[in-house]
Amino acid sequence: MVSAITRSHVAAAAGLEQRATRIVFFITGVGMAAWAPLVPFAKARVGIQEGGLGLLLLCLGVGSIVAMPVAGALAARMGCRSVTAGAATLLCVALPMLASVSSLPLLVVALFVFGAGMGAIDVAMNIQAIIVERASGRRMMSGFHGMFSLGSIAGAGSVVALLSAGASPLGATLVVAACIIVALAIAVPFLRVDGGGSAGPIFAVPRGIVLCIGVLCFVAYLAEGAVLDWSAVFLTSVHGMATAYAGLGYAAFALAMTIGRLTGDRVVRLVGGSNIILFGGICAAAGFGVSTLLHSWPMALLGYALAGVGCANIVPVLFTGVGRQTVMAENVAVPAITTLGYAGILVGPAAIGFVAHAASLSAAFLILAMLLLGVAASGRMLRL
């Protein structure tokens, strides 16, 4: 009887940890996506053009990349709970600043702080997810990342709805920040007080399988960044779609990815992680091929949806692989591969722009399809 009660308590505690992890992924998606509808307002307040805005947005990426290795080291010393709470607080402080400051230097600071909060919470929540998934003995990572995708939809949608209802940008972000704080208060007591390994260096160069995983994350994030930044341009300039509907390309990709992740744990358990990399890479490559080579915008939307399905579970499976490797401790490995992934989002769209200028946007997308086939080929070499 005592043993049964003990097992019941352990199972209940594990369930609370898993729920808390899902909440953190969700609010991170909410916080990140809440910034997107604010970009035009920030641009107008500080009075900059598109080129200046592009440089300004790099501050967000720089903040993320600077914070990631620090977050891994802090997680090892202070635990995922403390780092997650601190990073989420940074997001809640930065969002109202992004919605209100009209000074360029202050906006630079706000974007850097926002990026630092995003980078830190990204590392802490993935370390938390690796530990929780390993303790459960079953695949859960796709579901966690699915909650992030769902949060992104909720975050962008809620801010747009509030702005449409007449709320000011500051008022909308205060509502979002308040919701994040409430959700965080529910989750924090059940987050891990440990952090994926003993204290290690703040920065370490990835090696062995961790480097391989990081490179694959780079390509996967590159694909996501490419659709985010270039799909609307491609649909209007190549397929002749009306500008008002050009956002449907990324919408098809994001919706397919979200559904794929929310149902992904069952699929990964059924076919295995290596096959997810193999078939996911092939599916994503085929999606980019369809969207590029078939000169019809409905087929292009279908192609972006296929790319979303293919990419959906590649990154979650790779993070599970980080939890299984023994080359580097998680608190060092997770920041390393996350940094490489963010580099794909930051550098990749610019690289696609250079290729498009030198050749064509179609050529750039076809090169990306070839890179995804390389990801697929790696599936048989990695034990995931």
Please indicate, yes or no, whether the overall pTM of this predicted structure exceeds 0.95.
no
Helix, strand, coil distribution of the chain in percent, nearest 5: 85, 0, 15
Phi, psi of 356 (to 5 degrees): -60, -35
DSSP 380: T
pLDDT at 316: 94
Which residues make Cβ contacts (< 8 Å) with residue 177, sequence separation at least 6?
Answer: 91, 92, 95, 96
Q: Which residues of 11-41 are buried (b: 16+ CB within 10 A; e: fewer)?
A: eeeeeebbebbbbbbbbbbbbbbbbebbeeb
Q: Which residues of 142-164 are buried (b: 16+ CB within 10 A; e: fewer)?
A: bbbbbbbbbbbbbbbebbeebbe
pLDDT at 326: 80
Domain positions in the chain are: 2-190, 208-378
At 255-268, the pLDDT tens digits run: 999 999 999 999 99
Which residues make Cβ contacts (< 8 Å) with residue 204, sequence separation at least 6?
Answer: 69, 328, 332, 336
Q: What does the alpha-carbon distance between residue 329 and residue 231 come to, in Å, rounded to a whole number?
A: 37
Q: What does the alpha-carbon distance between residue 70 and residue 83 come to, in Å, rounded to a whole number?
A: 10
Max Cα-Cα span within the chain: 72
Residue range 208-378, CATH number: 1.20.1250.20
Q: Does the domain formed by 2-190 have CATH 3.40.50.720?
A: no
For the chain, the residue count is 384
Q: What does the alpha-carbon distance between residue 372 and residue 226 come to, in Å, rounded to a whole number?
A: 13
Domains 2-190 and 208-378 share a fold: yes
Low-confidence ranges of the chain (pLDDT < 70): 1-10, 50-51, 54, 196-204, 244, 383
243 burial (CB, 10 Å; 0-12 / 13-18 / 19+) is exposed
pLDDT at 299: 92
Distances, alpha carbon 285 to alpha carbons 2, 214, 277, in Å: 54, 19, 12
pLDDT at 187: 95
